[in-house]
């Protein structure tokens, strides 16, 4: 039977009720959160504030701080990632991170072709996505991220764009599942997809267990009225739909084309409440510290890591 949005939402409520009725293993012993460092913070800080961040310095910092892994970018620090058939380059890239005890656990991808009205554009996007999945698999990733940013791309309205996006994501999620990974997409306030209802529609219409979404407190905050309570929107969506976390604080404003990112504890978000909601909802995946456009990404990364450790200690007492 086809899953409708009503069925999807009622299923989410049922799952939430079960979680509330009986403490999960995560609630008893603590979820197996792993902490990732986002290279995007260093890239964006370098571009905006004219700073230089040598990759060896970043990886040494990550290892000393106790990070478990890194989220890679396709075009930073020096050129694009290797292609799926470039065995020597892939091996060399993996050796670099292995030397610091860091796992390459995810790659960032994007492209508005995923929901374009033109069928060929969507087909081309899917081909490129499949190649990125092959690269991610070779590097040992557990998930691949996607950012569907852009305009309407020829669609008559947002609902039509969502239908095209969901069709692309169904195929993309299956490609990920076949590779032993999952897809986690992220919408942002400036995107055409920028509400809780849009998130629900995309997930329900995609209807694939390997398709999940990101929780970024700064984006959820702006999409929830800039109240400093992103965990409220997270609860409405359901933690079971979260496939990746980008942890950052915010002051509830836009900056640099997206939600303003601030080190944890320096914005207006209730970060302990956000982490507690993830914990109690049984989120058991990666949390990347997102230092996008912060002037000092080392400080922001340290603050985010400390916020996680503080929450872990408080929630296991």
State the pairing for strand pair 258-259/254-255. Answer: antiparallel
pLDDT grade for 12, boundaries at 50, 70 and 90: very low
Q: Is residue 2 predicted with pLDDT exceeding 60? A: no
What is the structure's pLDDT at 32?
Answer: 86
Q: Is residue 26 predicted with pLDDT exceeding 60? A: no
- Range of lowest pLDDT (8-12, 94-98, 142-146, 272-276): 8-12
pLDDT in tens, 79-108: 999 999 999 999 999 999 999 999 999 999
pLDDT in tens, 112-136: 999 999 999 999 999 999 999 999 9
What is the structure's pLDDT at 30?
Answer: 52
Contact 167, 134 (CB under 8 A): no
Q: At the topology level of CATH, where does 30-315 sit?
A: TIM Barrel (3.20.20)
CA-nearest of 220, 239, 221, 301 to 44 is 301
- Rg for the chain, CA atoms, rounded: 19
What is the structure's pLDDT at 265?
Answer: 97
CA–CA separation, 31 and 34 (whole Å):
9
Structural domain spans, the chain = 30-315
What is the structure's pLDDT at 186?
Answer: 98
The Cβ of residue 228 has, within 10 Å, a number of other Cβ atoms equal to 20
Q: Which residue has the higher pLDDT, 98 or 15?
A: 98
């Amino acid at each position: 039977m086809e899953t409708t949005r009503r069925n999807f939402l009622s299923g989410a409520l049922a799952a939430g009720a079960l979680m509330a009725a009986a403490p999960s293993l995560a609630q008893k012993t603590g979820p197996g959160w792993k902490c990732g460092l986002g290279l995007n913070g260093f890239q964006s800080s370098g571009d905006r504030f004219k700073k230089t961040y040598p990759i060896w310095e970043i990886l040494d910092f990550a290892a000393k701080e106790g990070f478990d892994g890194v989220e890679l970018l396709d075009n930073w620090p020096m050129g694009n990632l290797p292609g799926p058939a470039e065995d020597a380059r892939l091996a060399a890239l993996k050796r670099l991170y292995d030397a610091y005890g860091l796992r390459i656990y995810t790659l960032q991808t994007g492209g508005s072709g995923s929901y374009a009205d033109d069928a060929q554009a969507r087909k081309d996007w899917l081909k490129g996505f499949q190649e990125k999945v092959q690269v991610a698999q070779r590097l040992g990733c557990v998930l691949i991220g996607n950012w569907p940013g852009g305009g309407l791309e020829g669609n008559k309205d947002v609902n039509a764009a969502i239908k095209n996006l969901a069709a692309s994501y169904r195929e993309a999620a299956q490609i990920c599942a076949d590779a032993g990974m999952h897809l986690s997409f992220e919408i942002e306030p400036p995107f055409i997809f920028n509400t809780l209802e849009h998130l629900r529609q995309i997930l329900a219409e995609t209807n694939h267990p390997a398709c999940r979404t990101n929780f970024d407190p700064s984006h959820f905050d702006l999409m929830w009225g800039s109240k400093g309570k992103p965990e409220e929107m997270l609860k409405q969506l359901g933690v079971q739909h979260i496939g990746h976390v980008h942890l950052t604080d915010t002051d509830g404003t836009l900056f640099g084309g997206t939600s303003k990112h601030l080190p944890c504890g320096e914005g207006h978000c209730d970060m302990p409440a956000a982490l507690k909601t993830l914990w109690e909802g049984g989120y058991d995946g990666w949390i990347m510290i997102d230092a996008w456009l912060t002037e000092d990404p080392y400080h922001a990364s340290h603050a985010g890591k400390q916020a996680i450790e503080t929450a872990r200690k408080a929630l296991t007492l």
